[in-house]
Amino acid sequence: MPFYPQQPGSIGVFDSGYGGLTILHGIQQVLPEYDYIYLGDNARAPYGSRSFEVVYEFTRQAVLKLFEMGCHLVILGCNTASAKALRTIQQNDLPKLAPDRRVLGVIRPTAEVIGSLTSSRHVGILATEGTIRSQSYNIEIQKQSPDIQVTGLSCPLWVPIIENNEADSPGADYFVKKRIDHIMRLDPQIDTLILGCTHYPILMPKILKYVDRGVKIVPQGEYVAASLKDYLQRHPEMDERCTKHSSTKYYTTESPTKFKENARIFMPEEINVERITLE
Ligand code: DGL
C-alpha cells in the first residue's frame, strides 16, 4: 500500500480543467474556514468526449496525486469524472490504496435535491456527451425519486464557447437557444433543468433568456456545498483530518500563465498557480 501523509490536510477539488472552479466557489461560500487544493488537468481537458477507460485512468491519477499532497478528502468537481470514474475509484481503488481516505462526486448531491424542486416530475439534464451517455444522472435520480422522468441532452459546443471567452457573444445565444429548444421539444413537460456540467453556470444569463419562465435552472455548486457540509458533520473523524486556515492552492497540468488568464472567466480574484504532472 502506498504511503500518504498522515497529518491533517486540505480538501482536494479536482476537475478536468477550469469548470470545477464553480464548484470550489460554491463550497467556499458555505465552508470558508477549510483549506483547499484545486487541481485542474488542463493539459488533457476536455474529458467530456473521452472514453470511460481514459477518464477513469486520468481521474485516478489526479486523486492519488491529491492524496500524496496530503488530502484525506477529495471532491471530483467534474461531472464527467464523477460519472465515469467515481464508482470504480470508491469500490476498487480506495479499499486497496487508501482505505481511510474518501472521494465524493457532484452527481449524487444534485440528484438528491431534484425531487424537492420539480412539480411536474419531468426533469432535464444538460451535460457533456460522456455524462449523458453514462446515464449517471438518470440512475441516481431513479434511486432517489423513481417517479421522475429524466431527459438528457449533451451540449458539446458549450464548453468550448465558454473556454474561448465567447459566453457573452451572439454565437453563444445561437447555441444555447438551440439546445434549450431541443430539450424542451424532447419533453415539453420539463419544469426543472439541471446544469450537469461545471462550466454551464457561466452561460446562466443566456440560459435564462431562452427557457420559459416556469422552468427552474439548477446549477450544482450550492447543492454540492450543502452536501459536503452535511457529510463533514456526519463524519467528525474526517472533519478532524481537514485543516482550517481558509487557504486555497491552485495546481494545473498546463501552463500556469494560461490557467491564470482563463480562470478569470470563472472567478474574479487573482490567483497563484503552480504546474504539476500526472502519471
Ligand atoms: N468539467 C467537465 C464536466 O463537468 C466539463 C469539461 C470537460 O469536458 O472536461 O463534465
Q: What is the pLDDT of residues 126-183, one digit of tens each?
A: 999 999 999 999 999 999 999 999 999 999 999 999 989 999 999 999 999 999 999 9
How far apart are alpha carbons 164 and 176 in whole angstroms? 15
Strand-pair partners of 178: none
> Which of 78, 163, 266 maximizes ligand 1 atoms within 8 Å of its Cβ, making it the mutation to test the pocket?
78
Q: What is the pLDDT of residues 11-70, one digit of tens each?
A: 999 999 999 999 999 999 999 999 999 999 999 999 999 999 999 999 999 999 999 999
Task: Look up the pTM and report it.
Answer: 0.95
Region 71-79: what's the mean pLDDT? 97
With 90 as the cut, is the pLDDT of residue 234 above it?
A: yes
With 80 as the cut, is the pLDDT of residue 1 above it?
A: no
- How many beta carbons lie within 10 A of that of residue 115, not counting itself? 16
- What confidence score (pLDDT) does residue 186 get? 98
Domain boundaries along the sequence of the chain? 11-106+222-275, 109-219
Q: What is the pLDDT of residues 175-213, one digit of tens each?
A: 999 999 999 999 999 999 999 999 999 999 999 999 998
Ligand 1 atom 1: residue of nearest CA:
78
The C-alpha cell 469524472 sits at 81
- What confidence score (pLDDT) does residue 269 get? 85
What strand order describes the sheet that includes 102-104?
A: 102-104, 73-76, 11-15, 36-40, 248-252, 273-275
Question: Can 11-106+222-275 and 109-219 be said to share one CATH topology?
Answer: yes
Quickly state the pLDDT bin for 2 (edges 50, 70, 90). Answer: confident
Nearest C-alpha neighbor of 10 from the set 71, 80, 58, 59:
71
- What confidence score (pLDDT) does residue 78 get? 96
Which CATH number is 109-219 given? 3.40.50.1860
Q: Could you tell me the distance, in angstroms and rounded to a whole number, from the CA of residue 171 to the centre of ligand 1?
A: 20
- What confidence score (pLDDT) does residue 160 get? 93
Q: Could you tell me the distance, in angstroms and rounded to a whole number, from the CA of residue 263 to the centre of ligand 1?
A: 15
User: 47 a known binding residue?
Assistant: yes
Q: What is the pLDDT of residues 216-233, one digit of tens each?
A: 999 999 899 999 999 999
Secondary structure (3-state) at 167: coil
User: 210 a known binding residue?
Assistant: no
Q: Contact, 156 vs 178, CB < 8 A?
A: no
Q: Contact, 29 vs 59, CB < 8 A?
A: no
Which CATH number is 11-106+222-275 given? 3.40.50.1860
